[in-house]
Amino acid sequence: MSLTRAELVRAAEEAIAKGSKSFGLASKLFAPETRERAWLLYSWCRKCDDIADGQDHGGALSKVDNPHERLAYIREMTDKALAGEVTGDPAFDALGLVAVECAIPHAWPRDLVQGFAMDADAFAPKTTEDLLKYCYHVAGVVGLMMAVIMGVDPEDQETLGRANDLGLAFQLANIARDVAEDAEADRCYIPSDWLSSASVKAGEHMALANRPALAAIGSRLAKMASEYEASARIGAERLPFRSRWAVLAAAGIYGDIAREVARRGERAWDDRVVTSKNGKALWVAKALMQAF
């Protein structure tokens, strides 16, 4: 059954409220039309992530025994949505709707699906270049799609590059924060040559004896995230005011995650790093001033 636009938006709003308090808060700063489109895109991204990782609106990772079957389903449903077919799943239908409304190049959603394919194939980066390629597929390309939703011309390569940088910053912060959680799911996104340089054997990076080396790696990831965040802030200057405000708030909120990982050092993975409600509210206020 085909849902109306209002019903798809309502389902998408519920998805972001459950799946990401940070993005949910930042999205409220957008102009109404942009906000709804951001929700629509988010709902598809969240649904794909949940299918691929056996999650429920984010939550804890769980090992899945059929990653390629899940990937095939994501691809099939995504292709149907992009072809304008009604899939019967609000999240995939949301993608079809926002792709039409914003003329999102179809290559971009497929690039994101390729990120899920990398994980299905047990991707583990060897070099910094490998790490950044993965970050593009799972987050940078989301920045591209969000930029178009905010009104950026798909041919504006300079601004799109800055949008990609924001996605990279977010993902690098995630990777720095989630080292322990990823290890429990038999994943590691730290490049193997970084581990080798720190005299840490692959698969043993969470050992207590390796905490000093891991703290240095966490700081390195945080520094990279900070550099990409700074680049993205330049691109934000080209956005409409309310979009600029939302992007700067999100950049600050996620940037604080990476900064806290670096600040904690060896204790960064004793418990999960989060940005407090007060910290998020402070960034909303600071971003407003920065947007002006």
Residue 114 lies in a domain: no
Same domain (yes/no): 149, 261: yes
pTM score: 0.93
Domain that holds residue 219: 123-292
CA 166 to chain centre: 9
Same domain (yes/no): 262, 289: yes
Residue 155 lies in a domain: yes
Residue 112 lies in a domain: no
Same domain (yes/no): 160, 65: no
Tell me which of 73, 104, 135 is where a domain ends.
104
Same domain (yes/no): 177, 35: no
Tell me which of 40, 70, 104 is where a domain ends.
104
Same domain (yes/no): 287, 178: yes
Same domain (yes/no): 75, 153: no
Same domain (yes/no): 128, 253: yes
Q: Where are the beta strands (DSSP E) in 141-215?
A: none
Q: For the domain that residue 279 is a member of, what is the CATH number?
A: 1.10.600.10
Reading the chain (292 residues) residue by residue, the pLDDT tens digits are: 689 999 999 999 999 988 888 888 888 999 999 999 999 999 999 999 999 988 665 555 667 789 999 999 999 999 999 999 999 999 999 999 999 999 999 999 999 999 999 999 999 999 999 999 999 999 999 999 999 999 999 999 999 999 999 999 999 999 999 999 999 989 999 999 999 999 999 889 999 999 999 999 999 999 999 999 999 999 999 999 999 999 999 999 999 999 999 999 999 999 999 999 999 999 999 999 999 9
State the pLDDT at residue 25: 86
State the pLDDT at residue 1: 65
Report d(CA 106, CA 98) in Å as an integer: 11
State the pLDDT at residue 85: 96
What does the chain come to in residues?
292
43: nearest Cα among 18, 12, 87, 9: 12
Tell me which of 71, 104, 137 is where a domain ends.
104
State the pLDDT at residue 222: 97
State the pLDDT at residue 60: 58
Report d(CA 67, CA 227) in Å as an integer: 33
Same domain (yes/no): 77, 168: no
233: nearest Cα among 216, 247, 217, 213: 247
State the total domains in the chain: 2
Report d(CA 107, CA 265) in Å as an integer: 39
